[in-house]
Structure 1
Amino acid sequence: MLFNLHSLIAAVPSTSDWNIGIGIVMIICNVLAIAFGKYTIDKQNEGGSLPSSELFGGMGLGALLGTTSFGHILGAGVILGLQNTGVL
């Protein structure tokens, strides 16, 4: 059992350093997630408001945090996939 734990800890994937391509992919994924949330979230204005709510299409703080969290999860998957295929 202990040997399996050490093997699991040692199995860390190698990732490249940050570069402008990774940043652009993350921005695109977040913009897509915000656009997806804008058209699918029913109560976008619930919760706290943003200082410039029109910048994000009238979304509230909760909707913005939810969509950008989804955007980061989506972006991490896309970046790892593109790095695995050798594109990034």
Structure 2
Amino acid sequence: MALKIKPLADRVLIEPEAAETKTASGIIIPDNAKEKPQQGKVMAAGKGTKDEPMTVKIGDTVLYGKYAGTELKLEGKDYLIMHESDILAIV
């Protein structure tokens, strides 16, 4: 199903990856101690500005800052919307 949201200018909509539930040694991490994910998939992207075209495209997996973006819930799923400049790298 297509998302009914279109980011404007240089903004992107990202679906964050799920937070780790277990450590490498097998210890289960409680909900209140889980790290916020810093990687996700681009679900929608704006057209960029007239001076700066968009670098990322729909489907790219990206790394972003820990406190980047604005959280929103859309169609029952959690997303982040942020400026393209908040994205650190394409994986």
**Same structural fold, with TM-score higher than 0.5 when normalized by the shorter chain:** no
What is the TM-score with the length of structure 2 in the denominator? 0.19
- Higher Cα radius of gyration: 1
Structure with the largest fraction of helix: 1
